Copies of this chain bind each other. A is one copy, B any other.
Amino acid sequence: MKLTRIPTFEEIKLVHDRIKPYINQTPVMSSTAINEMSGAEIYFKCENFQKVGAFKMRGGANALLALTEEEKAKGVATHSSGNHAQAVALSAKNHNVPAYIVMPENAPSAKRAATEGYGANIITCESTLAARESTLEKVVAETGATFLHPYNNYDVIAGQATCAKEFIEEVPDLEIVMAPVGGGGLMSGTAISTKALLPNAQIIGAEPKWADDAYRSFKSGKMQYNTRVDTIADGLRTNLGEYTFEIISNLVDDIITVSEEEIVAAMRIIWERMKIIIEPSCAVPFAAVLQQKERFVGKKIGIIITGGNVDVNNLPF
């Protein structure tokens, strides 16, 4: 183990208690139609009903609570395609802390507008990781703000881990727990909480084929990188980080990749059957279940619905 700061489940319990005033306990939903269609018993943890419309609020809330008074005075900075941006912006607002958010130019307009609505300072850059990182460096140098990495950060991972904890506390006999993999913060937190509470459950990640860095990293044992940033699952375009790669390598049982068409079809089924608005990223684990039906048939599966911040003027159907 190279990592010295993987959050323990004991720490995650403390984190959950301290972020509770700033987050919603989100509902778990299921659908007869979806269970009939898949042959499985699927429970969806609906983080689209989380504050800022995404699970990212958990990590953002925790990261702000971990700051010293001196750090708070200088503010926080981050780069994000959207949901982490909103989570940091609202959490900063909750504590009267200045927020500087670097957003790629292709970030969905609804996410940009909401981030501005929380009073954050937004700095636009090109939609590559390199551009995001160099722009952020400049901002941090100018302001002295603390960089809150969207996923490769102890406090953020510990915050995201509270989602699976809450989920399993409500549905305690899940056989499989699934989440989508972008930077890996949610997947890492999910894996830590699931391993602690349900040591025999399978932990499965799902990823777009067009952004399959985690799949290739997991299979090869070596960090691999995305070569394109255009999957419709805009929350999953980012690459694993050093910490999240380590946690996922150690704790996750498998990663399944799905096509763009499979993502849109799964998203549409969830919209039409469950009547909830979810981002394309959320549909990725359910798309994996539909792709590998025989593997999942008869199983009790928990899927984390990660967020609902879509641009309703720009839908894939």
A277 on interface, CB distance cutoff 8 Å: yes
By the criterion CB–CB under 8 Å, are A313 and B308 in contact?
Answer: no
Distance (Å) between the CB of A28 and the closest chain B CB? 11
Cα–Cα, bound, A272→B308 (Å): 8
A196 on interface, CB distance cutoff 8 Å: no
By the criterion CB–CB under 8 Å, are A268 and B312 in contact?
Answer: yes
This protein's copies in its complex: 2
A315 on interface, CB distance cutoff 8 Å: yes
Residue A312 contacts which of B27, B51, B271, B308 (CB distance < 8 angstroms)?
B271
By the criterion CB–CB under 8 Å, are B313 and A317 in contact?
Answer: yes
User: Which B residues are in CB contact (< 8 Å) with A110?
Assistant: 272
For the residues of A in contact with B, the DSSP-based class is mixed
By the criterion CB–CB under 8 Å, are B277 and A312 in contact?
Answer: no
A171 on interface, CB distance cutoff 8 Å: no
By the criterion CB–CB under 8 Å, are A275 and B48 in contact?
Answer: yes
How many of chain A's residues have a CB under 8 angstroms from any CB in B?
Answer: 20
Write out, one digit per residue, whether chain A residues 236-260 have a CB within 8 A of any chain B CB (1) or not (0): 0000000000000000000000000
Chain A interface residues (CB < 8 Å from chain B): 27, 29, 32, 48-49, 51, 53, 110, 268, 271-272, 275-278, 308, 312-313, 315, 317
Distance (Å) between the CB of A202 and the closest chain B CB? 28
Distance (Å) between the CB of A163 and the closest chain B CB? 16
A313-B317, A315-B315, A317-B313 are contacts. A308–B277 as well, Cβ < 8 Å? Answer: no
Between A and B, 22 residue pairs with Cβ closer than 8 Å are A27-B27, A29-B49, A32-B51, A48-B275, A49-B275, A53-B275, A110-B272, A268-B312, A271-B277, A271-B312, A272-B312, A275-B276, A275-B277, A275-B278, A275-B308, A276-B276, A276-B277, A277-B277, A312-B315, A312-B317, A313-B317, A315-B315
